[in-house]
């Protein structure tokens, strides 16, 4: 019907799975490296710290509370980005290992 054997089809699937895993792995690395060093995030953090210091010196307790809430939210944002990047790296590695083991299994069965 298709002209491919079962082993050829499984090998093609292994190649596609490996490619998806490879792309997923590098997207995770990009998220960890590029997003953690985000310039806008560091600028917002610096401005928030300056705002909190001004609020402390001027006696504005509401400003200090809001600034600390913003710093906490930024900290959670960084942790979330690191978690997503780590998850993508682990999934990418798992896909690459699974496809490699499938290809090795098919190779040992055909020899």
What residues does each domain of the chain span? 6-110
Mean pLDDT for all residues in the chain: 79
pLDDT tens digits for range 22-39: 999 999 999 888 866 666
Q: How far is CA 78 from the centre of its chain?
A: 11
Picking from 12, 38, 34, the residue whose alpha carbon sits closest to that of residue 88 is 34
Which structure tokens are listed for 16?
């596609």
pLDDT of 99: 94
Residue 9 has pLDDT above 80, yes or no: yes
Q: Are 51 and 67 in contact (CB under 8 A)?
A: yes
pLDDT of 20: 96
What pTM was computed for the model? 0.68
């Amino acid at each position: 019907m298709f002209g491919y054997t079962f082993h050829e089809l499984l090998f093609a699937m292994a190649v596609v799975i490996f490619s998806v895993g490879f792309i997923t792995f590098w997207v995770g690395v990009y998220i960890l490296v590029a997003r953690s060093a985000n310039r806008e995030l560091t600028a917002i953090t610096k401005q928030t710290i300056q705002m909190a210091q001004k609020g402390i010196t001027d006696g504005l307790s509401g400003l200090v509370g809001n600034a600390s809430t913003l710093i906490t939210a930024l900290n959670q944002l960084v942790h979330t980005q690191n978690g997503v990047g780590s998850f993508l790296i682990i999934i990418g590695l798992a896909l690459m290992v699974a496809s490699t083991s499938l290809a090795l299994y098919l190779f040992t069965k055909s020899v």
